[in-house]
Structure 1
Amino acid sequence: MKRSLFVVCFWLVLWLPLAAQENARPPIALIPEPVSWQAKPGSFRITSKTVIEVAARDAAHLGVARLLAQRLRVPTGYPVPVVKTKGNVGAIRLALNATPVARLGQEGYTLEVSPQQVLITANAPAGWFYAIQTFMQLLPPAAESVKKVTGTAWAVPAISVEDYPRFAWRGLMVDVSRHFFPKEVIKSYLDQMARYKLNTFHWHLTDNQGWRVEIKSLPKLTEVGAWRVPRTGYWKGFTAPEPGEAATDGGFYSQEDIKEIIAYAAERFVTIVPEVDVPGHSLALIASYPNLSCTQTPQQVLAGDPWNPKRTNVLCIGNDSTFTELEKVFTELAQLFPGEYLHMGGDEVTRTYWDKCAKCQKRIKAEGLKNSEELQTYFLKRMARIIESKGKKVMGWYEKLEGGLAPNMAVMSWKDMKGGIAASNLGHKVVMTPAFHTYLDFYQGDPFLENGPFTVTRLSSTYNFDPLPQEANPSNVLGGQGSLWTEQVAHERKLQFMTWPRGLSLAEVFWTPQAKRQWDAFVPRLEAHLPRLEAAHVNYATHFYEPIISAVKDSAGVMKVVLSSEIKGVDMYYTFDDSNPDKFYPKYQGKPLDVPKGAHHIRAISYRHGKPVGREINLPLTEVEKRVRK
């Protein structure tokens, strides 16, 4: 009896710490939320003996396994070899399905983690890659570190996952014209988006403020169009070049740079869609070749916007040389970029130049067009034929035009979703990127504290976006994207800050079934990923924590202040006496606040789990009064 009791006690001593450790493991927090998953007992441990095993029949796809090995090798310091032998104990195994599973498609996968092994299966290598992203999220946040980490147990909770995307097009766009970003920044950005299963990088390569792609047949595009005078500050305040001032700010990607970036993206299953924005947004092109404009006058690339009649930023459509030169551009783009789409922009054309241009008016008459609006349709259709002749599909920004769009043109619906709905029902393929849900240049927090040139798109706005409205033809909606214009984004840290965490919410919007998406469930998972971004040295915003300050007026017309928050579970503290509030100040209880006599500011700060989060919001009451709810 005593011996039996001793054995029981012995095993309890061994088991209780293990059980406590198992119960203490952090909750599983995956972004995007998979189609289905189930937690299981135990965990798989990565050690110095762990190998990645690929079946010999799948050896052509060892590159995916090597990416995983590198991801693991950096933080753990373990060698993690990739092998083709079977039966390795404690292996991470990758296998392609001998008989494809239809519901998984080309990007779906299954992931089975047990204490003995990890098994990843998919129909295609892309599925392996996305399973790996899920697997990495099961590791501690330190797994995203850019250097070796010591003292961490590399345990992966046992789990069973089946997953596949909702949309084929899951994109982010970066504008490199307003500010140029070196190729290493672009590569890092591709890494960041691929880790959250985003698969399309829309590269806005040209605009008024800079031409960023080498076109060997038109060398002045990068000799002249890629450079402008340096300016720092607010976009709207940038001054024109001074006489004799050198254009030293800018840069461009050589064709070798672009090939390198394309290969880097392809390894991560990201397709790059290049955009050359014409016939508007073309000042950098016209500064390089003035004969392509209606005025044919010399121009300079500007730091800011060319809202000046003397700054010609629209191509001449009556001039056949315009199409000759553009064909050279798109010929080289088609040779460089292997993806199926070339994006030609086509938006926000100032047609007043065409109204005053004899050549454009002659074109209108010769083609039997009604007006300059139909001339824009003529341009789109002619350019579409050129692009299609290169073996590519044409894409552009949606514009509501009297003459319609080019017949086979795919469109990005950017002003709202109405254009995308209409286009989808007319047979056009559509990518939904409506500004008020997906424009990442819009500020994320209180407008009084931001320097955004436009308006606000909060984290919750991006998450509550559904790219497939009921009125649209679902067979023609490819998916959606977040679009980051860079007027106020001058460097990599700001580029990251404006993308994340809104990019995380869009990743879930584009991947996860609509029925599984819940904002309140997303927030704690998002919070679990912030340490991962920190470990990877990726900047991000925390504005979603901050108090949102507005006002109402009572029946006597007296203003009262209202505090609210994007998320539940935050405590907000405030003061009217211009001191900095903390958790020992008055706590907002959900009722409108009376404004003390003589007060001129309100300050408020959020706490979550007893800790301050986000910025302190400090507003003059004159600003709050502008926000009275009607």
Structure 2
Amino acid sequence: MSRIGFLLLLVLVSSSVFAQKAKPAPALALIPEPVQVAQTKGTFELTAKTVIVLPKGHEAHLGVAQLLSQRLQVPTGFALPVKVGARKKNSIQFQLFPQPQPELGSEGYTLEVTPQAILLQANAPAGWFYGIQTLLQLLPPAVESKQTVAGVRWEIAGVKIKDYPRLAWRGLMVDVSRHFFPKEVMKAYIDQMAKYKLNTFHWHLTDNQGWRVEIKSLPKLTQVGAWRVPRTGYWKGFQAPQPGEAATDGGFYSQEDIKEIIRYAEERFVTIVPEVDVPGHSLALIASYPNLSCTQTPQQVLAGDPWNPQRTNVLCVGNDSTFTELEKVFSELAQLFPGEYLHMGGDEVTRSYWDKCAKCQQRIKTEGLKNSEELQTYFLKRLARIIQSKGKKPMGWYEKLEGRLAPNMAVMSWKDMKGGIAASQQGHKVVMTPAFNTYLDFYQGDPYLENGPFTVTRLNATYNWNPVPLEANAANILGGQGSLWTEQVAHERKLQSMTWPRALSLAEVFWTPQPKRQWENFIPRLEAHLPRLDAAEVNYATHFYEPIVWGVKDSSGALQVVLSSEIRDIEMYYTFDDSNPDKFYPKYQGQPLDIPKGAHHIRVVSYRHGQRVGREINLPLSEVEKRVRK
């Protein structure tokens, strides 16, 4: 889904906190923060003689223990054997509780590290897996390295941990329609999210700019719909296809690719939820099969946005063949994906096409509908029945419609929390992904330096958010997710930097009990994880370090500059003379800055604990003028 036309207010406000005494790094820097954690005496040292032990009778779950062995072998150089048998010293021991512990559920675990051994207990293998992720975070950051690291003592601090998730649906979404990412990129993304106990990968496979999933009964979807003319630059300015220009940019996942990615995700206890976005956002589908549109005219897959009268991106609901073809699509999806939900999109429909379509108007009359808005409800309900007939549960983006949503349809609340609250009260299952708190395509630093199509979602906005508001029916809140639309994300490195570290904060929002989450406690733990991301060669943004700049007017009406930051212990140094500031330049002291005569820019840099962090912010004062607050 593009979110063109949906603009939130530009919010630059953040807590204005300045330099204070530096705090020591936390002894246990775990993300997400466990439910209960206590440090104990001593350490366990992982050596080449350490053994991973699985109890007898649980050989069916050998894969979880082997995954740990594989993760450890590359950075440590130790080929740790996985054995079935009794407990022993110098071992990592897996156990299932003889009597289930209801509080832990299927994903909870307990972890005890002593100098002699490590004991990991759970009700089910998923709990083992999440305990492994915590265990790996107790090792030095070099454990994330993709090559063997010499000279490291692989010590694990003594701890006793009891842990289980707050929410069942802990997700991230990636849009692969606007830009296609190969299967190895998707596997790496899933692997990284699983490290932080995120368990649902929402895969936005189709939209106006590309169809990415092979449907064998409809081959043109990938022969035609998966390809567009190549364009680079700002999304809104992309030139339309030129006469005779070849569509060479794109790609798709074969059904064998998808099966491979599903297996990879299942090994990491990640469920994949596929999305085919209809009846709007369907230009790639219509370009493949023009007879499914109201105009039935040839269309081309576009690189940019199709919002103009000549581009038909909405399916014809008056045409029964539309539902015949969609049944083929969702039948194959149901056979491919083992998860319980199939996502059908369903929002942002340009209903003006239906208003002009004789077949759609006849459908309105035949079905006794009032208008095109109720026709959208009709479409959702009919497609929902098709999905249910395949043994799956339908899910879509929340839309406020006169005829309401399909009765058994789960929804994702994206515009705000209000839609999710209302849906939960009406009995719908809900995944919260309100744009301002969770949209990872929104820029995360100063908008003047970013190339974001919409607005800002800073790190503190993702962290200081509660996905289960008091007004909601909590029993119907499945959980939440971060959503990454890729209009401006063309490369894996940017895919990573738009996700991390904001997905780290969301991981804690979804897992850690609400009363235990504290922004000031999160930041030092986050900083301890940045070397882990470096070791894993995962790109991440450091914009949370950077100054936030806005303007005020003094009593005479003259412009002044005010600086703030998201986090504590930030020192900011500035200049108005167009030189590049460092810590030898004037330091911001918390008061509005008078602007010297003749100045036209302000440049600001941040330092934390004596080290420069983040980018230099270089703003024209004309931009600061636009940000004046009363």
Give, in whole Å, the separation in 2 of the partners of 1:46 and 1:252.
43
Q: State the SS of the aligned residue for 1:56.
A: coil
| 1:499 partnered with 2:506 | no
Sequence identity (%): 79
State the partner residue of 2:166. 166
Question: What pairs up with 1:84-99 in 2 under 5 angstroms?
Answer: 84-99=84-99
Deviation at 1:27, TM superposition (A): 1.5
Partners of 1:85 and 1:321 lie apart in 2 by 60
Q: Shift in Å at residue 89 of structure 1?
A: 2.0
Which residue of structure 2 lines up, in the alignment, with residue 322 of structure 1? 322
Query: 1:223 matched to which residue of 2?
Result: 223
The residue aligned with 1:6 is none
Partner SS for 1:134: helix
Q: Does 1:358 find its partner at 2:358?
A: yes
SS in structure 2 opposite 1:523?
helix
Residue of structure 2 in register with 1:8 after alignment: none
Which structure is larger by alpha-carbon Rg, 1 or 2?
1
Output aligned runs, 1:274-313, within 5 Å: 274-313=274-313
Whole-angstrom distance in 2 between the partners of 1:66 and 1:147: 18
- State the 1:404 CA deviation: 0.4
Give the CA deviation at 1:59: 1.4
Question: Matched residues in 1 for 2:123 and 2:598: separation?
Answer: 69
Residue 428 of structure 1 corresponds to 428
What is the aligned partner in structure 1 of residue 560 from structure 2?
A: 560
Which structure is higher in RCO with an 8 Å CA cutoff and minimum separation 6?
Answer: 2
**How far apart in 1 are the matches of 2:545 and 2:516?**
23
Find out whether 1:144 has 2:144 as its counterpart.
yes
The answer for the alignment partner of 2:9 in structure 1 is none
Residue-pair matches, total: 607
Moved more, 88-97 or 492-501: 88-97
Aligned to 1:412: 412
- Cα distance, 1:33 vs structure 2: 0.2
TM-score by length of structure 2 reads 0.96
Deviation at 1:328, TM superposition (A): 0.2
Q: What is the identity, as a one-letter code, of the residue corresponding to 1:317?
A: V
Deviation at 1:411, TM superposition (A): 0.1
Within 5 A, what are the aligned runs for 1:317-466? Answer: 317-466=317-466
The alpha carbon displacement at 1:465 in A equals 1.2
Displacement of 1:269: 0.2
What SS does structure 2 have at the residue aligned with 1:605? strand
| C-alpha distance in 1 between matches for 2:80 and 2:213 | 39
Q: Distance in 2 between matches of 1:430 and 1:89?
A: 47
1:80 matched residue in structure 2: 80
1:127-149 Cα shifts (integer Å, max 9, x gaps): 00000000000000000001100
> Is the partner of 1:411 in helix, strand or coil?
strand
1:58 Cα deviation from its structure 2 partner: 1.4
C-alpha deviation, 1:26, in angstroms: 6.7
1:243-282 equivalent positions in 2, closer than 5 A: 243-282=243-282
2:377 partner amino acid: T
For the 8 Å contact 2:547–2:604, the answer to whether it is kept is yes
The Cα offsets for residues 383-436 of structure 1, whole Å up to 9 and x where unpaired, read as: 000000000000000000011000000000000000000000000000000000
The answer for the alignment partner of 2:184 in structure 1 is 184
- In 2, Cα distance between equivalents of 1:182 and 1:281: 22
Alpha-carbon distance between aligned partners in 2 of 1:604 and 1:417, rounded to the nearest angstrom: 35
Amino acid at match of 1:412: M
Q: Any conservation in 1 of the 2:87–2:93 contact (CA below 8 Å)?
A: no
CA separation of 1:591/1:492 partners in 2, compared to 1, >3 Å: closer, same or farther? same
- Asked if the contact 2:25–2:525 (Cα under 8 Å) also holds between the matched residues in 1, the reply is no
Query: Which letter does structure 2 place at the counterpart of 1:435?
Result: A
Counterparts of 1:318 and 1:25, CA distance in 2? 62
Q: CA RMSD in A?
A: 0.8
* Letter matched to residue 420 of structure 1: G
| Shift in Å, 1:123 | 0.1
TM-superposition CA deviations, 1:139-164 (whole Å, max 9, x none): 00000001100000000000000000
Q: Distance in 2 between matches of 1:290 and 1:85?
A: 62
Closer/same/farther in 2, CA of residues 96 and 513 from structure 1, 3 Å limit = same
**1:107 matched to which residue of 2?**
107
Quote the offset at 1:244 in angstroms. 0.5
Secondary structure of the corresponding residue to residue 455 of structure 1:
coil
What corresponds to 1:614 in structure 2? 614
Give the match for residue 548 of structure 2.
548
Between the aligned partners of 1:87 and 1:515, the Cα distance in structure 2 is 37
CA shift digits 1:328-377 (9 cap, x unpaired): 00000000000000000001000000000000000000000000000000
Q: CA deviation at 1:557?
A: 1.2
Deviation at 1:25, TM superposition (A): 10
Paired residue type of 1:506: L
- Per the TM alignment, residue 88 of structure 1 is displaced from its structure 2 partner at its CA by 2.8
AA aligned to 1:176 is: V
> Are the aligned partners of 2:43 and 2:157 in contact in 1 as well (CA < 8 Å)?
yes
**Aligned residue runs from structure 1 range 125-140, under 5 A:** 125-140=125-140
1:486: which partner in 2?
486
Is 1:599 paired with 2:596? no
Unaligned ranges ≥5, structure 1: 1-23
**Residue matched to 1:55:** 55
Per the TM alignment, residue 307 of structure 1 is displaced from its structure 2 partner at its CA by 1.2
Write the letter of the residue equivalent to 1:311. R
Distance 1:88 1:288 in 2: 62
Amino acid at match of 2:248: T
Instruction: Give the aligned residue type for 1:510.
Output: F
Distance 1:578 1:217 in 2: 62
Structure 2: distance between partners of 1:302 and 1:165: 42
- The equivalences for 1:6-21 within 5 A come to none
The residue number in structure 2 matching 1:240 is 240
User: For residues 381 and 222 of structure 1, what CA distance do their matches in structure 2 show?
Assistant: 27
| Equivalent pair of 2:549/2:624 in contact (CA under 8 Å) | yes
What is the CA-CA distance between 1:473 and the residue it aligns to? 0.2
Secondary structure of the residue aligned to 1:203 is strand
What do the CA deviations read for 1:260-293 (whole angstroms, capped 9, x no partner)?
1001000000000000000000000000000000
In 2, Cα distance between the equivalents of 1:140 and 1:271? 29
- In the TM superposition, residue 87 of structure 1 has moved relative to its aligned partner by 3.4
Q: C-alpha distance in 1, partners of 2:492/2:98?
A: 43
Q: State the alpha-carbon separation in 1 of the partners of residues 375 and 174 from structure 2.
A: 29
Show structure 1 runs of 4+ deviating over 6 A.
Answer: none
Range that drifts further, 26-35 or 363-372: 26-35
Q: Provide TM-score, normalisation by structure 1.
A: 0.96
String of CA shifts for 1:89-131, please: whole Å, max 9, x gaps.
2000001111000000000000000000000000000000000
SS of the residue corresponding to residue 58 of structure 2 reads helix
SS for the counterpart of 2:344 is strand
Q: Any stretches of 5+ residues in structure 2 without a counterpart?
A: 1-23
In structure 2, the partner of 1:628 is: 628
Opposite residue 389 of structure 1, the aligned amino acid is S
Paired amino acid for 1:600: H
Instruction: Indicate whether 1:66 and 2:35 are aligned.
Output: no
CA distance in 2, matches of 1:171, 1:448: 30
Distance 1:26 1:81 in 2: 32
